[in-house]
Amino acid sequence: MRIYLVGYMGSGKSTVSNKLAHQLGYNCFDLDDLFEQRFKITVADFFTKYDESLFRRLESQLLKETAVLDDVVIATGGGTPCFYDNMEWMNRLGLTVFLEISVPAIVSRLNNSKKKRPLLMNKTESEINKFIHDHLRHRNIYYSQAQLIVPAVSINVLKLEEQIRNNWLSKYNSHTSFEQ
């Protein structure tokens, strides 16, 4: 089974993917980390040196390579579901879990994060709030297509694991995909 975690930057995809994978006995991958290993450049530096459209094309190709993996939890990038057919593809080939989070919670988390976020560089606090609000409204159209939606701020990974085992593993084991 492939489990794809989707959600906005700062929603906790990387943290939750590690914990969930551990609970399920699965391997864990972070799409941003895979990108950086493959192309030998950080995502932030790639955005600076090249452009977002090239990044999104390469990211989509990398995502499609996860089709050969099984028993994995994959933390996607915040924009991954919003480009090409990525969300539809993830829904067909695995379980998608949307870590839903509010704008104030995102801003708080990003202000306390050590990780540089390319889309937020050189923005004031006010510009960051407006950007996230507008960006999230657009991206929620894609995120809300996930098969499972959980609150990111109060997430209980043990309950999430139990829900996946009880409601999704048997469905996945009886089919090779989640096509409806």
Residue 179: inside a domain: no
Pairing of strands 72-75, 27-30: parallel
> What does the alpha-carbon distance between residue 46 and residue 162 come to, in Å, rounded to a whole number?
38
Residues of the chain falling short of pLDDT 50: 177-180
Domain count, the chain: 1
Task: Give the Cα separation of 38 and 150 in Å (integer).
Answer: 31
Range of the domain at 82: 2-162
pLDDT at site 112: 81
Residue 180 lies in a domain: no
> CATH number for the domain including 33?
3.40.50.300
The predicted pLDDT at position 2 comes to 96
Q: Buried b / exposed e across 152-164, counting CB within 10 Å, b at 16+?
A: beebebeebbeeb
Is 176 within a domain? no
